[in-house]
């Protein structure tokens, strides 16, 4: 009943978001409620940006809720999930319509704390408790940064409404700190490197439909906060910040996909893939800021459309893959790639849907993932035209990083899909896999159809997104202006054009012609033969490629220096019946170099502070007296001034 009601509510909010998308700026519905701080009412407003993200949030929420109807009975403790699930959806939607800093932060905390409780649902697992702790620490850090950011924008007058913040001018150190704190606060929730540490821990710990929302939707709410601050409330960000964001996005994309390639845990692989896609989006946002700060508003609109398009696309195909992973876990009880295999025959719906999602997430045409990354590349091609040497030299480097990330993402999901769904079962659990309930099958099927549709009609989507970027960039822009529908032509009328509609129609026509030729002129006799066995027949599934063997070349090329990857083989002596064993040691440089060091510093400071508990009464009185004298000195200095 909880999931059904959430599905109905999400569909209603989805319809409301679609209805208000494309409205004239400044005409969206607004309301002021007498709640919140005593001197500040609660402001809520729905504009084009909020409406777009409301569509993103509630499309995935409706899918996850419908999926949850069939999935909830498989949870170990479903009553630890159902009370907080609707609160999580409520928090995300309230963030989108909040029109003052106080309500924004209250909703942000609502979203963070409810999702923390969902991560902690299976609290008996020590790994889940650790994941929840890390997530809570990072959430507190992000909220503290955003609180300080809004405080700087509010100024000494304490004008916490967004309309007052838009009118305020931020110069010098205040403007610098606002951008920095926004990147830290929203970036920690979105998963920017090196603030991504909680994603690979929290997403696998949460139930699969919650993981889908945390990865596919909650990270987008964080990007909404970043866009709201940098493009709307601040509005005058220097181009250098855009260049810095492009570099951060490029590093995030490459590091995220390298992390993903090394994973055998299916949900952890998907979590790291989210890091990669967040990096792709931030490249587009950074490029938009660089163009806008340099006066190239049309190119800024193109880059922002590309970033928003990838936000929409990622929310769909990442939700699809997490829900498919949940179906695999439900059917087999396993999420280790080394214990899966052959699932397409036993779970054909999920197998086909996951294949569509893998093609989309690998940015291959004609699906939706290709269109948004293609638009980002088109925007990057115009980057060197800016009169800044940092952009002239930096844009090609970021473009190479984006291309590398796209190629590695394709390899990553060839590995994930091939090992999990193709071949022969690698364990008894995979061999006994069963079909999942109908709601779980239909949900992933509809998401797979959306991946095709958003890739086939990209002009319809980009024209809708142009209504969102117009008030943010100050220019009206349509990426089909040169050649018209259905061609995307953001660069010129003679190059850079692409039509997903024509490509899909051509592919469908070629498939139809092939079927007609085969069935019209080919033999109708059914022939059966064994699958290709590489020249020798093996009856044991261990003879197949494993996930580790697939990723070994990439691990040796890219990870030997970055992750200090080392391989060792334990080969028993002649006559010893022990099996040979190969071990791979990988060090997370960010965790070891950054977070472990911070943890040691915190422990050291805590030990020093802990000594205060064991002082004598005289020393406590002396501390109180010294504090009083110090405060009196401050008052005296201020009065003299």
Q: Is 477's pLDDT higher than 50? A: yes
Candidate ranges 11-20, 549-558, 562-571; pick with highest mean pLDDT? 11-20
Q: At a CB cut-off of 8 Å and minimum separation 6, what does 6 contact?
A: 61, 65, 68, 85, 86, 89
Measured in residues, the chain has a length of 641
pTM for the full predicted model: 0.88
Q: Is 221 exposed, middle or buried (0-12, 13-18, 19+ CB in 10 A)?
A: buried
What integer pLDDT is reported at residue 478 of this predicted model?
Answer: 67
What integer pLDDT is reported at residue 462 of this predicted model?
Answer: 81
The band of 165, judged by pLDDT with boundaries at 50, 70 and 90, is confident
Q: Is 586's pLDDT higher than 60? A: yes
pLDDT tens digits, residue range 599-637? 889 888 988 888 888 888 888 899 899 999 999 999 988
pLDDT tens digits, residue range 32-50? 888 877 777 888 999 899 9
Tally of CB atoms within 10 A around 68:
30
Asked if residue 367 lies in contact with residue 413, where contact means CB atoms within 8 angstroms, the answer is no
Asked if residue 104 lies in contact with residue 38, where contact means CB atoms within 8 angstroms, the answer is no
Q: At a CB cut-off of 8 Å and minimum separation 6, what does 468 contact?
A: 21, 48, 49, 51, 52, 308
Beta bridge partners of 498: 488
What integer pLDDT is reported at residue 184 of this predicted model?
Answer: 93
Name the residue with higher pLDDT: 440 or 156. Answer: 440
Phi, psi values for residue 426, rounded to 5°? -95, 0
- Closest CA relative to residue 219, chosen from 64, 305, 95, 335: 95
HSE of 89, CA atoms in CB hemisphere, 13 A: 31
Q: Is 561's pLDDT higher than 90? A: no
Q: Is 493's pLDDT higher than 60? A: no
Beta bridge partners of 570: 581
What integer pLDDT is reported at residue 539 of this predicted model?
Answer: 65
Q: Percentage of the chain surpassing pLDDT 90?
A: 32
Q: Is 494's pLDDT higher than 50? A: no
Q: What is the DSSP string of 150-162?
A: HHHHHTTTT--BH
The span from the CA of 545 to the CA of 553, in Å, is: 13
């Amino acid at each position: 009943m909880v999931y059904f009601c959430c599905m109905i509510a999400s569909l209603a909010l989805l319809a409301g978001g679609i209805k208000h998308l494309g409205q004239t700026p400044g005409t969206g519905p607004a309301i002021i409620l007498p709640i919140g701080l005593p001197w500040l009412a609660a402001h809520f407003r729905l504009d084009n940006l909020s409406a777009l993200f409301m569509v993103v949030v509630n499309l995935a929420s409706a899918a996850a809720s419908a999926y949850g109807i069939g999935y909830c009975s498989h949870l170990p403790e479903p009553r630890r999930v159902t009370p907080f699930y609707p609160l999580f959806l409520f928090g995300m939607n309230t963030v989108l319509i909040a029109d003052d800093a106080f309500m924004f932060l209250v909703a942000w905390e609502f979203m963070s704390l409810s999702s923390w409780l969902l991560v902690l649902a299976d609290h008996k697992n020590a790994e889940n408790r650790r994941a929840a702790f890390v997530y809570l620490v990072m959430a507190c850090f992000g909220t503290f940064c955003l609180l300080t950011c809004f405080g700087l924008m509010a100024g000494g007058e304490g004008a916490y409404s967004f309309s007052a913040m838009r009118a305020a001018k931020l110069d010098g150190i205040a403007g610098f700190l606002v951008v920095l704190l926004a990147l830290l606060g929203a970036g920690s929730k979105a998963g920017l490197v090196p603030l991504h540490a909680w994603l690979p821990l929290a997403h696998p710990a949460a139930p699969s439909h919650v993981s889908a929302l945390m990865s596919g939707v909650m990270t987008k709410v964080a990007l909404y906060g970043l866009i709201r601050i940098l493009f709307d409330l601040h509005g005058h960000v220097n181009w250098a910040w855009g260049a810095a964001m492009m570099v951060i996005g490029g590093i995030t994309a490459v590091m995220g996909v390298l992390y993903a390639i090394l994973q055998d845990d299916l949900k952890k692989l998907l979590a790291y893939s989210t890091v990669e896609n967040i990096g792709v989006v931030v490249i587009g946002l950074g490029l938009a800021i660089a163009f806008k700060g340099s006066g190239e508003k049309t190119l800024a609109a193109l880059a922002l459309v590309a970033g928003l398009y990838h936000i929409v696309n990622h929310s769909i195909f990442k939700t699809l893959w997490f829900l498919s992973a949940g179906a695999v876990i439900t059917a087999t009880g396993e999420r280790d790639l080394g214990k899966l295999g052959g699932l397409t025959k036993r779970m054909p719906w999920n197998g086909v849907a996951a294949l569509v999602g893998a093609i989309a997430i690998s940015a291959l045409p004609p699906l939706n993932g290709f269109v948004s990354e293609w638009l980002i590349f088109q925007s990057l091609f115009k980057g060197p035209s800016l009169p800044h040497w940092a952009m002239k030299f930096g844009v090609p480097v970021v473009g190479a990083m984006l291309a590398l990330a796209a190629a590695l993402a394709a390899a990553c999901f060839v590995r994930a899909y091939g090992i999990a769904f193709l071949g022969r079962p690698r364990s008894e659990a995979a061999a006994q896999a069963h079909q999942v309930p109908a709601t779980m099958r239909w949900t992933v099927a509809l998401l797979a159809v959306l991946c095709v549709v958003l890739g086939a009609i990209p002009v319809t989507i980009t024209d809708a997104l142009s209504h969102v970027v117009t008030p943010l960039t100050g220019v009206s822009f349509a990426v089909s202006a040169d050649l018209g529908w259905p061609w995307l032509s953001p660069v010129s009328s003679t190059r850079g054009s692409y039509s997903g509609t024509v490509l899909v129609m051509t592919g469908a026509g070629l498939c139809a012609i092939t079927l007609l030729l085969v069935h019209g002129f080919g033999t109708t006799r059914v022939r059966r033969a064994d699958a290709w066995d590489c020249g020798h027949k093996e009856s044991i599934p261990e003879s197949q490629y494993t996930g580790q063997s697939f990723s070994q070349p990439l691990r040796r090329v890219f990870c030997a220096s970055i992750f200090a990857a080392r391989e060792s083989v334990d080969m028993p002596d002649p006559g010893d019946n022990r099996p040979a064993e190969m071990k791979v040691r990988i060090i997370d440089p960010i965790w070891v170099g950054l977070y472990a060091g911070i943890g040691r510093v915190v422990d050291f400071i805590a030990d020093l502070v802990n000594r205060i508990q064991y002082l004598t009464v005289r020393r406590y009185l002396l501390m109180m007296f010294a504090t009083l004298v110090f405060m009196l000195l401050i008052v005296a200095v201020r009065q003299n001034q």
